[in-house]
Amino acid sequence: MTHTPTDRPRRGARGAVVPVLAFAGIVVAVMQTLLVPVVKDLPQLLDAAPGDATWVLTSTLLSGAVATPIMGRLGDLYGKRRMLVTSLAVMVLGALVSAVTSDLITMIAGRTLQGFAMGAIPLGIGLMRDMLPPERLGSAMALMSSSIGVGGGLALPAAALVAQHADWHALFYGAAALGVVAIALTLLVVPESPARAAGSFDLPGALGLSAGLVLFLLPITKGSDWGWTSGTTLGLFAASAAVLLLWGLMELRVAAPLVDLRTTARPAVLFTNLASIMVGVSFYVVSLVLPQLLQLPTATGYGLGQSMVAAGLLVAPLGLTMMFTAPVYARLSAKYGPKVTLILGLLIIAVGYGAGLGLMSAPWQSLVIAVVLGAGIGLAYSSLPALIVGAVPASETGAANGLNTLMRSIGTSVSSAVIGMVLANTANDVNGVAVPTLHGFRVSFLIATAAVAVGLLFALLLPKADRTPRLRASSAADADVVERAEEVLRGFRGRVLDAGGAPVARARVTLIDRRGRQAGATLSAEDGTYALAVPAEGAYVLAAKAVGHGPLASSASHPGEERAVEVDLPLPGETVSA
């Protein structure tokens, strides 16, 4: 991994990097959500059978699940900004294809291309880790992570308004325009990350993971149409298990795997990913239930009789509250750590769903539920990338966050399938139309509460933040006291200095092994001292960077004896490109 001073954003651009990356995340969420208001009308709009029309949604889910970890790994290898722009460009192409057609097959092709935009979230988080100082990283990642909810909350009423008063194809033109703006802003404001992972792209691993994911997600999304006990559904689940098992065995033998399963198996990563699935489930349940409850006619006895636009506006605070929790998360995480904020977020979600069981009789009650759940989901979503970033090497940030984003997507897919089945099985038949019942809505909320309870268990199993000496992704300057070895028996230690020889506090020092992988990371103390243990003898690179200084990469070797090798790291003065 190499760094040059010109890889850093210009002074005037630094403040815009985070909002630009968050805007890219919001654009992705808009792409996901824009068809929600017209889902029930798709068979008529595309002149297709209802079962065939659902492929318009399923195709985006499948391509997004496949693209997310792959684009993350490509970003680690070839440049995160490059892959971010590529993801958005493919999305724009797909939106334009969908905008000019009412043919089912062409629409599915366009929506498949749009799913590639899902890789923007982990790529944005990876860019933030590579270029932001520690005191800004936590809140920035929180905003990026919650952008999916923000975009969804804003897109629902806007898409409903367009669907009611204009040709539905205008939804795709709008998404394409937003994508073009996101690409332009990214190219203008966001610099390319100089961080690169060692190795080459694992094509067999990518194909194996893609096949396994498609075989797994396909029966989840189509199981209600095919029958959950049908030979097709069970056969695809069995095939998925076999393919993913073989893929895992293959990845363990590859020198540069698509997903480092050994890293993924660490408790800090494993339990974070498992908790992410449950958070994804809880997020999607409210998105499915509240709009239907609000739009059902009052003649049902429990429907709230709101228009499509009004229902979207009442649910919009779910996403907006997620955005406003980002700075709150930064303060809480700085003081207590991301594990505690994840637990707190899950507890708030449980309170929201518990209260929601008795708050289904007036529109204002749906607004309250949306706000409470938005706060809890916002805290939980904000904690997930911080936990991942604090547990993986810098060279694997994109791939690891891509896998975490995939886990959330799997949670929403499972939620969609389960809640759809519950609402269908509890619905009343009214003149040949299945109308969801209040009982079905309440059972859905109970399922979400159970998912939160499981997620809480996984969160409690996360190791304490001080069990590893890695750089924590907290955000406040006085709170991210990163674990350092006070005395390193076998490793490197020294001081980080500026061009004049003065100590540099809170410089990030990263230890990189001969394979280009991160072997440790720390922050320098107030007197500029740092200490890092080495896993074995051999050649290493010590990379240091700090705000206001140019970065440095220094080669060093350790004989493997039980002693510390002294290496001072003099940072050059910062060069600002014109």
Tell me the pLDDT tens digit for each residue of 334-369: 778 888 999 999 999 999 998 888 887 888 888 898
DSSP state of 324: H
Is the same domain home to 169 and 220? no
For residue 449, the number of C-alpha atoms closer than 13 Å in the C-beta half-sphere is: 14
Of 503 and 132, the structure prediction assigns the larger pLDDT to: 503
For residue 68, the number of C-alpha atoms closer than 13 Å in the C-beta half-sphere is: 25
Strands 518-523 and 508-512: antiparallel
| b/e 331-349 (16+ beta carbons within 10 angstroms → b) | bbbbeebbbbbbbbbbbbb
Count other C-beta atoms under 10 Å from residue 572's C-beta. 12
Q: Does the residue 474 lie in any domain?
A: no
Read off the pLDDT band of 484 (50, 70, 90). very low
In the chain, count of helices (H) and strands (E)?
Answer: 19, 10
Read off the pLDDT band of 487 (50, 70, 90). very low
pLDDT mean over 267-273: 88
Q: Does the residue 227 lie in any domain?
A: yes
CA distance 405 to 407: 5
Structural domains in the chain (count): 3
Residue 275 in contact with residue 455, Cβ under 8 Å?
Answer: yes
Is the same domain home to 286 and 318? yes
| pLDDT tens string 386-407 | 888 777 766 666 667 777 877 8
| pLDDT tens string 163-174 | 777 888 888 999
Share of the chain above pLDDT 70, in %: 87
Of 203 and 41, the structure prediction assigns the larger pLDDT to: 203
Among 1-15, 250-264, 455-469, top mean pLDDT goes to 250-264
The confidence score (pLDDT) of residue 225 equals 75
Q: Does the residue 419 lie in any domain?
A: yes
| Residue at token pair 């001969």 | 514
Q: Does the residue 478 lie in any domain?
A: no
Is the same domain home to 117 and 14? yes
Q: Does the residue 577 lie in any domain?
A: no
Among 34-43, 415-424, 550-559, top mean pLDDT goes to 550-559
Is the same domain home to 215 and 272? no
- Which tokens hold the place of 245? 């098992």
- Which tokens hold the place of 374? 């938005």
| pLDDT tens string 206-223 | 899 889 888 888 888 777
Q: 3-class DSSP state for residue 314?
A: helix
Q: Among 149-163, 233-247, 337-351, 447-461, where is mean pLDDT lowest? A: 149-163
Domain boundary among 467, 502, 528: 467
Q: Which residues contact 180 (CB under 8 A, 6 or more apart)?
A: 92
CA distance 543 to 508: 8
Residue 18 in contact with residue 475, Cβ under 8 Å?
Answer: no
The confidence score (pLDDT) of residue 578 equals 35
Q: Which residues contact 49 (CB under 8 A, 6 or more apart)?
A: 43
pLDDT at 478 over 50: no
CA distance 6 to 3: 9
Count other C-beta atoms under 10 Å from residue 328's C-beta. 16
The confidence score (pLDDT) of residue 459 equals 93
Is the same domain home to 415 and 511? no
Give me the CATH number covering residue 560.
2.60.40.1120
Q: Which residues contact 524 (CB under 8 A, 6 or more apart)?
A: 495, 496, 503, 504, 505, 506, 507, 509, 530, 544, 546
- Distance linking the first and last C-alpha atoms of the chain: 25
**Phi and psi, residue 223, nearest 5°:** -60, -35
Closest CA to 204 of 246, 240, 261: 246
Closest CA to 347 of 358, 337, 339, 359: 339
Is the same domain home to 561 and 447? no
- Enclosing domain of residue 187: 5-202+254-467
Domain boundary among 452, 467, 482: 467
| Residue at token pair 């019942």 | 437
Count other C-beta atoms under 10 Å from residue 252's C-beta. 11
The confidence score (pLDDT) of residue 176 equals 94
Q: Which residues contact 407 (CB under 8 A, 6 or more apart)?
A: 273, 274, 276, 277, 280
Q: Does the residue 529 lie in any domain?
A: yes
pLDDT at 141 over 80: no
Domain boundary among 432, 467, 502: 467
For residue 236, the number of C-alpha atoms closer than 13 Å in the C-beta half-sphere is: 19
CA distance 69 to 384: 16
Helix extents (H) in 427-571: 438-460
| pLDDT tens string 494-543 | 888 887 778 888 888 988 877 677 788 888 887 788 888 887 778 888 88
| Residue at token pair 């399938």 | 417
The confidence score (pLDDT) of residue 274 equals 92
pLDDT at 12 over 80: no
Is the same domain home to 146 and 171? yes
Three-state SS for 428-461 is EEECCEEECCHHHHHHHHHHHHHHHHHHHHHHHC
Is the same domain home to 409 and 518? no
DSSP state of 554: E
| b/e 413-422 (16+ beta carbons within 10 angstroms → b) | bbbbbbbeeb
CA distance 481 to 486: 13
| Residue at token pair 């995939």 | 406
Q: Does the residue 485 lie in any domain?
A: no
pLDDT at 475 over 60: no
Count other C-beta atoms under 10 Å from residue 524's C-beta. 25
Is the same domain home to 566 and 439? no
CA distance 433 to 429: 5
Q: What integer best gives the mean pLDDT of the chain?
A: 80
Is the same domain home to 372 and 501? no
Beta bridge pairs of residue 542 = 511, 554
**Phi and psi, residue 9, nearest 5°:** -70, 145
Ramachandran sector of residue 431 (left: φ over 0; alpha: ψ -120 to 50; beta: rest): left
The confidence score (pLDDT) of residue 389 equals 76
Task: State which amino acid sits at residue 280.
Answer: G
The confidence score (pLDDT) of residue 575 equals 47
| pLDDT tens string 529-571 | 888 888 777 888 888 888 888 888 888 888 777 677 888 898 8
Is the same domain home to 84 and 59? yes
Sheet (strand 508-512) strand order: 518-523, 508-512, 538-545, 552-558
| Gyration radius from the chain CA atoms | 24
DSSP state of 541: E
Residue 401 in contact with residue 272, Cβ under 8 Å?
Answer: no
Q: C-alpha distances in angstroms, 154 versus 32, 312, 318, 447, 457?
A: 12, 8, 9, 26, 32
CA distance 395 to 75: 10
Read off the pLDDT band of 4 (50, 70, 90). very low
Give me the CATH number covering residue 32.
1.20.1250.20
DSSP state of 569: E
pLDDT at 473 over 60: no
| pLDDT tens string 85-103 | 999 999 999 999 999 988 8
Is the same domain home to 248 and 346? no
Read off the pLDDT band of 421 (50, 70, 90). confident
| Residue at token pair 């929201």 | 352
Which parts of 70-161 are beta strand (E)?
none
Q: Does the residue 482 lie in any domain?
A: no
